[in-house]
Amino acid sequence: MDKKKHLRILSEKEIFSGRPEWRNPGGSKYFAMYSSVFGGVVTDPALMVVPLDDHMVHRGDGIFEAFKCVNGCIYNLDAHLARLERSAQLISLMLPFDLPTIKQIIVETVAIAGKKDCMVRVFVSRGLGGFDCAPGECHKSNLYVVVVEAWDCPEYFYTKGVSAITSKIPIKPSFFARVKSCNYLPNALVDMEAEENGVDFAITLDEEGNLAEGATENVAVVTKEKVFMYPEFDRILKGTSLLRGVELARELIKIGILKGISQQNIPQKKAYESSEMLIFSTGPDVVPVVSYDGRPIGSGKPGPVFRKLLELFQRDVKENKNILTPVF
């Protein structure tokens, strides 16, 4: 082994001054970050850092939420904060602040970012303390709020529809499926599987062959009998977009596009035979699956339930003052 030292000892100035090259990837898309570790907000992407000994980093011991701000208002924020609180309770993680304070920090961070249209990611970590696995070495939890560029949904998602396959990645055990934790390795592998197979999404199944969820998406079907059907929540994350979609779908019953709504196990065969298959997610709200495992769904084109739900979502995002949190 070469005993000559080749590694340099870097100074703070070398890492953080000017425009460091290491921060080029993604840097222009990051607008503001609040950190309870530092007690404030930074707008320089090079300063948006998390200590390596935070257990969220090296153990995945933390929880998060992601939501959007549209035209200066955060959409469905209270639902996301309620889920954040539930996730914290499930893993015995004490939130660093009460929910009204966290909400205020989010609003102020978005205001500092100065972007009326953006995505917001909120992380709560077990905290700093060392590199052991035991949470006991963490003295207090930390809050991080990051404001990033709004997700730009490809136009064909809405006009032509998307393709999906069945994932081979095992579904999460029930307890972990219900926690929106920072340990997203299974989810990342599902996303990777979709990319490697040249499709837009991959969907996991439970051990009995029922539809579960995508990497970061919920899924539902519309049967030929016009029943909107979505999976039980015992093995999947309770998606805020899906729940909003269920509420909006009730309007479709009133106008005769749907005849009913049912939450139950959905065998893969029923998905193949459905008239429509829908994916729900924070970014696009709802998109139609027109091809699943190479088989056309319904007519192979976006259907009437999708088109009406998208219309209702777009109105909901912009006009529903009951679930909009003004920032600007």
Active centre residues (catalytic): 180
Query: Residue 32 corresponds to which amino acid?
Result: A
Query: Residue 59 corresponds to which amino acid?
Result: R
Residues in the chain: 328
d(CA 239, CA 216): 9
110 DSSP 8-state letter = H
Token output for 195? 């990319």
240-254 and 304-319 helices cross at what angle (nearest 10)?
Answer: 110
CB 72 within 8 A of CB 328: yes
H or E segment at 304? helix 304-319
- What Å distances lie between residue 167 and 129, 209, 216, 293, CA to CA? 37, 11, 13, 10
* Concatenated DSSP letters of 123-158: EEE---S-SSS-GGG--S-EEEEEEEEPP---HHHH
d(CA 218, CA 187): 12
Which ranges of 91-229 would DSSP assign to H, the alpha helix? 99-113, 155-159, 174-177, 185-196
d(CA 20, CA 27): 10
